[in-house]
């Protein structure tokens, strides 16, 4: 069983998957930082200096100045600002993946057209003969008239 596990882990596609997951997690951190530290501050500044992370709706009867204060008090909240940040993260990641897949598709060779058949079947005796044959070598039928 240990040898089977070693064989499974050593397969190329498992290693490729592991590398993809690690790279994806790293890329996710970069995109999160891009959204939180680069994209959202100018948008918040344009909207009057608000921080989208602090857009929330308290589901209790109390009012809180920030999301951190609501969480510290243990109040249930609907965090639509955090959702907005996550949605922007997703759009950026989806666009980056789209660009990556598009470039990979341009780099890969186009699939070749299917090759012409090299044999055909005689309509008279049902034997396989070369595709260019004009007369069947088995039954001597004229294939051009068929």
Residue 2 lies in a domain: no
Q: Express the helix, strand and coil content of the chain in percent, nearest 5 each.
A: 55, 10, 35
92 and 145 part of one domain: no
> What pLDDT does residue 10 have?
72
- 79 and 136 assigned to the same domain: no
pLDDT digits (tens, 9 = 90+) for 94-107: 888 788 888 888 88
Domain span at residue 119 reads 115-146
Q: Is residue 29 part of a domain?
A: yes
Q: What is the pLDDT of residues 56-109, one digit of tens each?
A: 888 888 888 888 888 899 899 998 988 888 888 788 878 887 888 888 888 878
- Tell me, yes or no, whether 1 lies in a domain: no
Give the total number of structural domains in the chain: 2
* Same domain assignment for residues 37 and 88: yes
> Can you tell me the distance from the alpha carbon of 119 to that of 16, in angstroms, rounded to the nearest whole number?
41
Closest by CA position to 39, among listed 103, 93, 1, 115: 93
Examine the pLDDT at 16 and tell me if it is beyond 80. no
3 part of a folded domain: no
């Amino acid at each position: 069983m240990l040898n089977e596990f070693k064989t499974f882990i050593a397969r190329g596609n498992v290693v490729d998957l592991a590398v993809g997951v690690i790279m994806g997690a790293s890329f996710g951190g970069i995109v999160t930082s891009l959204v939180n530290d680069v994209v959202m501050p100018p948008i918040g500044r344009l909207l009057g200096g608000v921080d989208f992370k602090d857009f929330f709706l308290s589901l209790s009867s109390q009012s809180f100045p920030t999301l951190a204060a609501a969480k510290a008090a243990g109040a249930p909240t609907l965090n639509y600002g955090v959702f907005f940040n996550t949605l922007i993260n997703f759009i950026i990641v989806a666009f980056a993946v789209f660009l990556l897949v598009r470039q990979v598709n341009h780099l890969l060779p186009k699939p070749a057209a299917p090759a012409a058949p090299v044999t055909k079947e005689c309509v008279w005796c049902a034997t396989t003969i070369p595709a260019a044959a004009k007369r069947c070598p088995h039954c001597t039928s004229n294939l051009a008239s068929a």
